[in-house]
Structure 1
Amino acid sequence: MPQYPERMIQFGEGNFMRAFVDWQLQQMNKQGLFNGSAAVIVPIGQGLGGLMAEQDNLYTVLLNGIMQEQPVNSREIITSVSRVINPYSDYEAYLALAENDELEFITSNTTEAGIAYQPGDRLEDTPPSSFPAKLTVLLHRRFELGKKGFVIIPCELIDRNGEKLQEIVRQYAAEWKLGDAFLQWLDAENTFCCSLVDRIVPGYPRDKAAELEAGLGYLDKLMVTAEPFLFWVIEGPAWLSERLPLAKAGLNVAVTDDMTLYRERKVHLLNGPHTAMVPLALMAGLETVEDVMNDETFYRFVRELLDEELIPMLDLPQEELLSYADAVLERFRNPFIRHELASISLNSISKFRTRLLPVLLRYQQERGQLPPLITLAFAALLLSYRGDLVKRQDSAEVLAVFDQAWSNPSTFAASILKEVSLWGQDLSQVPGLTEAIDARLHQLQNSGSRAALQQLVRSEA
């Protein structure tokens, strides 16, 4: 297999980055446009480093779906990962990356909760716990060595991700007293780009793994399925297109000076329905996005959510939004990939805050009432964090807040909505929201999510 020099540091070894960033590096490499690999960093204590090493950092990406009205069914072994470094077990190898002059780019996907300030992190920690603190340590080592900076492109699905990451790095630099010279180098020698990623990546095909491995002729514990569609918007300088020639390789990548339009459309019309459907569908016994789309009641929920609550709240050309929404529904129906609702549910609280809460608040302000479908989805999400109906997948801090609030069910709605740490504001001040959530919680517990939805959505007839 071809070997390439390390040109990128990648925080995150999960399914998405392997089927998105590393897959794109492979496409550039095949055309002789990049000739580089990624040194991947495990962002938390446990990761896939051992499994990657067992497979010589090779794995298969399987693309399945419809692209330009043509079926796509491709298999490709990805060779663009050079190694996986776990800073918790080999901190020196992590710091040594700062010495490599060929490294130019840093990418990341540490979930929506990853770009966050952790007050306990220190420069002396080996390593600090948060991703921004780990990055600050590496950048400071790079500065001390007198070397050039990086182009930093986070892929976390939060608004202005590059700016927020830079802000937190500067916060650590000030707190750790790293000096004005480092701050000047940080701003002058590094380019922090905001970005938006779009590719549905269901991950490891558990239900078809044995069949696929028989056809491939080898075992692959890290194979990952993805849809053929891909879109990456990078808000950065024009010269980036030459240094990272993704579009030149024929990839659907846009480098722009303003990504606002792209972000609003994607976060609210693709990610928003995902977050809304998950708790309701899981409570009804559905397992995948395709299950949702093949179920009349749940399909109507998604369609009406788009048409009546999401699209009217976006200040973008309506025809374009409707066209994009139709494309989203087609992607959701993709019969070739199994996109499990449980995988989408990771860190659902921060996802709701980013994807649906702004729409709920704007709807209430403009129309003087709450959007019924988003409100029901919100109540279902809160109920799912009780922990007995749906498996919770979130940080220990978030789960502790919910456990405390659920310790008194009679005051749960008012208590949880007041948690500024979760929502960025006191939602109990939103007119009618506490009462509406309380009523929906009782309805969901008494009659279930399907019955609750059937009262709100119109039938096909």
Structure 2
Amino acid sequence: MSHPLSRTTHPHLPSYPERVIQFGGGNFMRAFVNWQLQQMNRQGLFQGSAVVVQPTERGLGDLMTRQDCLYTVLLNGIFQNRTVNSQEIITTVSRVINPYTHYEDYLALAEDDGLEFITSNTTEAGIAYHAGDCRGDQPPASFPAKLTALLFRRFELRKKGFVIIPCELIDRNGEKLHQLIEQYAREWQLGEAFVTWLREENTFCCSLVDRIVPGYPRGRDQELEHELGYTDELMVTAEPYLLWVIEGPEWLSERLPLDQTGLNVIFTDDMTPYRERKVHLLNGPHTAMVPLGLLAGLETVEEVMQDECFSRFVKEIMEKELAPMLNFPLEDVLAYASDIQERFRNPYIRHELRSISLNSISKFKARLLPILLRYQQEKGILPPLICLSFAALLLSYRGDRIPRQDLPEVNDVFDEAWSRPSSFVTTILRKESLWGADLTKIPGLIQTIEADIRQLDQSGSRAALQIMK
């Protein structure tokens, strides 16, 4: 019987001083940020680790602690015309702090001069204002409020600030996080000197991340246990492809030399073009396929791409509705779209639609709603495939066919709206708290979504797609 992965079973693995505070220890961060830190360490460029702050009360902290914060990243796929099938034990997480049970340990991070960087991935819904957060909460509920408390402690200690690089997939993530921290600073009456310190002593970077990370290799765990010689409940699979675009000052690449490792990391003074192309052409189709695929009983992205009906949907939504709305030469965008479809077909990784469905409402708002609005404004008609996916998403949040994975307050809004089915569409489209605008003002959207929901409810998503053929 194999032993669990730990420093007892692997005593010769290196340890590194803490240089990064990382909010979130989920699959993506462990296969993206921590994996990249490891590549820098291997080349002698960084020599640092991350202390993970658990952003929610329940998380992976206990499990990570049992494994001494070690875990395996499995890279599987085709990259630069060669097959990649690698396994690597990652050693760049030092420890996990749960601020819900050890709040003073969390605030004590402010005392460490060696900590220079803060990064995060708390999902698209994580960088948001929470009206109930107060200065005395231990901890506050929202990520921005938690970070405000930590930064204020750092300020009180008269220490230098941080380089802050959020990874959440929202536009201008660094700027929005900075704005929310200043909002809490003013509400909590932390003083103008603190606000000045935030602006002058800290560097808030906007960033864009791209790597498909399916997560734990379900179905292969026993095979891998035999192959690796140990058990690892934190194993995470990822594709070899990676992109990290970081908008920041010129000196940043010297302090965080990711681009010197040969990784696909871009430091720039304007990440806007990169973001629009990636969010709308990679994340957009992911979000679009999920509710339609789940309603049809499909489980993975690969199953979607192997299904003629659904793969045609993915191809057409990318080429006919998404690509024409981007500010890139169409030929270049279509080539990028073709590459993405090849990544979706990666047979080496199991990317479950259920895992992509987490917080789907905020994902639709960030990834597909801007294209829907732009398409309607420019063409005077609604994009039919985006609308069908939108209808499937709203139908899935009825909760009777597909388990919802969203914030309780979002689910509550849908429960209330679905309690009156005849007015559901009007009620839900009017919720500015969900969409950032009253969508009932978009010409024809109510009628289109109502018709699509009826079609999906009566005939299913496959039949609805076949009708649109």
Place the TM-score, normalised by the shorter chain, in its bin. over 0.9
Q: Is 1:402 paired with 2:386?
A: no
1:98 aligns with 2:105: no
Q: Supply the AA of the counterpart residue of 1:170.
A: E
Aligned to 1:366: 378
Q: Which residue of 2 aligns with 1:334?
A: 346
> Which residue of 167, 175, 185 maps to 2:187?
175
The 5 Å alignment of 1:68-79 reads: 68-79=80-91
Within the candidate set 173, 176, 194, 1:161 is matched to 173
Residue 95 (structure 2) aligned to one of 71, 83, 101: 83
Q: Write the distance in 2 (CA, Å) between the matches of 1:95 and 1:37.
A: 18
Offset, 1:323 = 1.1
Offset of residue 303 of structure 1? 0.4
Superposition CA RMSD, Å: 0.5
Distance 2:409 2:109 in 1: 31
Q: Do residues 324 (structure 1) and 375 (structure 2) align?
A: no
Cα distance between partner residues in 1 of 2:197 and 2:441: 43
Residue 200 (structure 2) pairs with residue 188 (structure 1): yes
Partners in 2 of 1:2 and 1:307 — Cα distance?
A: 47
1:54 maps to which of 42, 47, 66: 66
Question: 2:299 aligned with 1:287, yes or no?
Answer: yes
Q: 1:254 aligns with which of 255, 263, 266?
A: 266
Instruction: Give unmatched runs, 5+ long, in structure 1.
Output: none
**1:240 counterpart = 2:257:** no
Shift of the alpha carbon at 1:123?
Answer: 1.2
State the distance in 2 between where 1:181 and 1:87 align: 26
Offset at residue 339 of structure 1 (A): 0.1
Q: Corresponding residue for 1:387?
A: 399
Query: Could you tell me which residue of structure 2 aligns to residue 354 of structure 1?
Result: 366
Question: Which residue type is aligned with residue 5 of structure 1?
Answer: P
| Structure 2 counterpart of 1:17 | 29
User: TM-score, with normalisation over the residues of structure 1?
Assistant: 0.99
Q: One-letter code of the match for 1:405?
A: A
Aligned to 1:120, what secondary structure does the other structure show?
Answer: coil
Tell me the alpha carbon deviations over residues 231-284 of structure 1, each in whole angstroms, 9 at most, x when there is no partner: 000000111101000010111100100001100000000000000000000000
SS of the equivalent of 2:96 reads strand
Counterpart-to-counterpart distance in 1, 2:320 and 2:218: 36
In structure 1, the partner of 2:434 is 422
Gaps of 5+ in 2: 1-12
Pair 1:149 & 2:161 matched: yes
Shift of 1:320: 1.2
For the residue of structure 1 that corresponds to 2:169, the secondary structure is coil
Which of the residues 289, 306, 309 maps onto 1:277? 289
CA distance in 1, matches of 2:128, 2:326: 27
The answer for the alignment partner of 1:34 in structure 2 is: 46
**Correspondence for 1:204 among 209, 216, 229:** 216
Of 442, 447, 461, the match for 2:459: 447
Following TM superposition, by how much is the alpha carbon of 1:204 offset from its aligned partner in structure 2, in angstroms?
Answer: 0.4
Residue 314 of structure 1, CA deviation: 1.0
Residue 440 of structure 1: SS of its match in structure 2?
A: helix
Displacement of 1:225 in angstroms is: 0.2
Q: Distance in 1 between matches of 2:269 and 2:305?
A: 36
Please, which of 305, 317, 320 is the counterpart of residue 308 of structure 1?
320
Deviation at 1:409, TM superposition (A): 0.5
Residue 14 of structure 2 corresponds to: 2
Letter of the structure 2 residue corresponding to residue 260 of structure 1: T
Q: Tell me the alpha carbon deviations over residues 97-150 of structure 1, each in whole angstroms, 9 at most, x when there is no partner.
A: 000000000000000000001111111111111000000000000000000000
Shift, 1:368, TM fit: 1.3
Partner deviation per Cα, 1:278-331 (whole Å, 9 max, x = no partner): 000000010000000000000000000011100111121112101110110010
Number of residue equivalences? 457
Deviation sequence 1:324-381 (CA, Å, 0-9, x none): 1011001000000000000000000000011111111111111111111000000000
| Aligned equivalents of 1:355, 1:49: Cα separation in 2 | 30
Using the alignment, how far apart are the partners of 2:209 and 2:292 within structure 1? 25
CA distance in 1, matches of 2:386, 2:124: 20
Structure 1 runs, 4 residues or longer, greater than 6 Å off: none
Could you tell me which residue of structure 2 aligns to residue 436 of structure 1?
448
Q: TM-score by structure 2 length? A: 0.97
C-alpha distance in 2, partners of 1:25/1:312? 37
What's the offset of the Cα at 1:158?
Answer: 0.3
